Structure 1
Amino acid sequence: MHRRALLAALLCASVPAVALAVPAPPRRVVSLGGSVTEIVYDLGQGGRLVGDDLSSLYPEAATRLPRVGYYRAAPVEGILALRPDLVLASENAGPPQALERLASLGLTVRRVSDAPSVDSLYRRVEQVAEVLGVPQAGETLAARLRAEIDTARAIPAPRHRALLLVNRSGQFQAAGRDTAANALLGLAGQDNALAAQRGYKPLSAEGLAALAPEMIVITSASLQAVGGMAALRASPGVADTPAARAGRIVPMDDLLALGLGPRLALAIRELKKAAQ
């Protein structure tokens, strides 16, 4: 009987040691990717962030964090300087050797789904929540987003040939297939005028006019770069489109238009309203 009591005592004593072996949830997080950052905030975990990248435009609190450059060109030294215990990155973050270097230095690096599809958004939410140790919050948020997006997609709206433009290095580029912008247009019930091409393609004034879009969506930063709405409407190529003649040019927040993130239902509603 004495030996049994001693064995039981030893087993009980081992329980705290097992509990101590469970990894602590990350407390200092650097996020790479605007929609990843937005999801962290939507999960109520924004207080863990100690840095993010230049694509993290929403919520406003994200823009006040230390920045580590652009998520596709993440600097190793800049990230290390923030002393994170987790780097939470879009699968499109890079370059790969930078993330590999961070991992080799002992940092925990976790990449999450960021493909141009609504299903990827739901996976991204659940993956971010899992990494942060709040899986139930992730399930709740994903369910809410599904309901909001389904409701937005059900709103009736006319169908148009649409084009989403960005202005990079002083030249218009339009979004083709296999992009988040193309996915957004489709979810909003619009036909991408550049769907025959893949990715982002430079457009001359002649090429833009030839596509004859009936709706043009342009990111806010791009609109500012070309001098505002009046300048855009009068610009070569744009001025000759059905979209310009109908006044159907839609400015949209860059992350809202290109991020395919938690505010996707809002983006769909805005496009459907503009399509009327």
Structure 2
Amino acid sequence: MLNRRQLGALLALGASGAGLARAAAATPRVISVGGALTEIVYALGAERLLVGVDSTSSYPAAARALPDVGYQRTLSAEGLLSLAPTLILATEDAGPPPVLRQLELARVPLHILRAEHRFEGLLARSTRIGELLGRPAEARALNQRLDAQWQAGQRQVQQLAQSAARQPQVLFVLAHSMAQLRIAGQGTAADAMLGYAGVRNVMGGINGYRQLTPEAVIAAAPEIILTTREGLDAAGGIEPLLQVPGLAQTPAGRARRVVAFDALELLGFGPRLPALLPRLAQALHRA
């Protein structure tokens, strides 16, 4: 918790930033908290407005050269306000709540966009960011391109599903480290992606992410394991991952059927989503 003196300093810093903003109103200073939001800013051609991003903003590569304000769930008011932002974009994942309240006290415009795991949510975020950054025409053009890609991708998924003898049975494993392996149930970004790809989430009977247990994965009997490239790297590769108790005893483990994609691309629901869909579906249907 901040004491009164620290809070006063933050308010002064925020007021100073607001003064700078009024003096240079033609050049907004934007901080993007959320990798998918940062991707949208770039897709709109508004990247020159960015003065900072969070640690999940790994794409495009140019974003990694911007000042890093930290992980989106553990933000610091001091770090954010030190960049004198005139606008902060964030999703519902941003926090902690006390920091968000401090930003409100400092009168920094903070816009929270819903972190929906749906294609329509991507279009809504693109539209809103276009409005906030003064690029509504660019947002409309982007959404038209995304929608055309999405419709084409869905047609490819339907073709794969029609030609398949049966629906692939897939387990998603989230691996931040070998000590923190979780499986994805309903209401997760991973579950939404599996549904869009036309495959069955074998953990669809649970909600959210749960700790991986040998009993659960053996009973689920997945034919394919889907994970992220970052997770696979954290595990040390396919072999160490399949040595996790339970995974080796599944049909996927015995056949070594493991598919991995970039985490932000797979789970972020950003502008790369439509192009990813047919690639994901093909990888899972043909694994």
For the pair 1:27 / 2:61, whether they are aligned, the reply is no
The number of equivalent residue pairs is 255
Match of 2:228 in 1: 219
Cα gap change, 1:76 to 1:192, in 2 (>3 Å): same
**Partner SS state of residue 54, structure 2:** coil
Counterpart selection for 2:183 from 158, 164, 174 = 174
**Partner SS state of residue 31, structure 2:** strand
Q: 1-side partners of 2:239 and 2:153: how far apart? A: 30
**Partner SS state of residue 116, structure 2:** coil
Q: 2-side partners of 1:95 and 1:115: how far apart? A: 19
**1:269 Cα shift?**
1.9
Cα gap change, 1:230 to 1:164, in 2 (>3 Å): same
Q: 1-side partners of 2:169 and 2:218: how far apart? A: 13
**Partner SS state of residue 73, structure 1:** coil
Please give the residue correspondences for 1:1-276 in structure 2 after superposition, counting only pairs within 5 Å: 24=25, 27-155=28-156, 156-157=159-160, 158=164, 159-169=167-177, 170-274=179-283, 275-276=285-286
Match of 2:10 in 1: none
Cα gap change, 1:227 to 1:259, in 2 (>3 Å): same
| 4+ aligned runs moved over 4 Å, structure 1 | 23-26
**Partner SS state of residue 272, structure 1:** helix
1:167-198 deviation digits (Å, cap 9, x = unpaired): 13513101111111111111111111111111
Tell me the amino acid that sits aligned with residue 85 of structure 2: P
Cα gap change, 1:77 to 1:114, in 2 (>3 Å): same
1:14-53 deviation digits (Å, cap 9, x = unpaired): xxxxxxx9x9466211101110011001111111111111
**1:221 Cα shift?**
1.5
**1:235 Cα shift?**
3.3
Q: 2-side partners of 1:73 and 1:26: how far apart? A: 28
**1:71 Cα shift?**
1.0
1:100-144 deviation digits (Å, cap 9, x = unpaired): 211210211111222122211110110111110101111111121
Q: 2-side partners of 1:259 and 1:273: how far apart? A: 20
Q: 2-side partners of 1:203 and 1:133: how far apart? A: 45
**TM-score, scaled to structure 2:** 0.84
Q: Contact 1:113–1:121 (CA<8 Å) still a contact in 2?
A: no
1:188-223 deviation digits (Å, cap 9, x = unpaired): 111111111111111123322221111211111211
**TM-score, scaled to structure 1:** 0.87
**1:161 Cα shift?**
1.4
**1:68 Cα shift?**
1.1
**Partner SS state of residue 72, structure 1:** coil
Q: 2-side partners of 1:199 and 1:140: how far apart? A: 34
Q: 1-side partners of 2:60 and 2:31: how far apart? A: 15
**Partner SS state of residue 154, structure 1:** helix
Q: Compare CA radii of gyration and give the structure with the larger one.
A: 1
- Per mean C-alpha deviation after superposition, the further-off stretch among 62-71 and 240-249 is 240-249
Q: 2-side partners of 1:93 and 1:271: how far apart? A: 28
Tell me the amino acid that sits aligned with residue 118 of structure 1: F
Tell me the amino acid that sits aligned with residue 144 of structure 2: A
Q: Contact 1:174–1:201 (CA<8 Å) still a contact in 2?
A: yes
Unaligned runs of 5+ residues in structure 2 are 1-21
Q: 2-side partners of 1:247 and 1:181: how far apart? A: 20
Q: Percent identity?
A: 40
Q: 2-side partners of 1:266 and 1:165: how far apart? A: 22
**1:227 Cα shift?**
0.8
Q: Contact 1:117–1:183 (CA<8 Å) still a contact in 2?
A: yes
Cα gap change, 1:25 to 1:74, in 2 (>3 Å): farther
Q: 2-side partners of 1:212 and 1:161: how far apart? A: 8
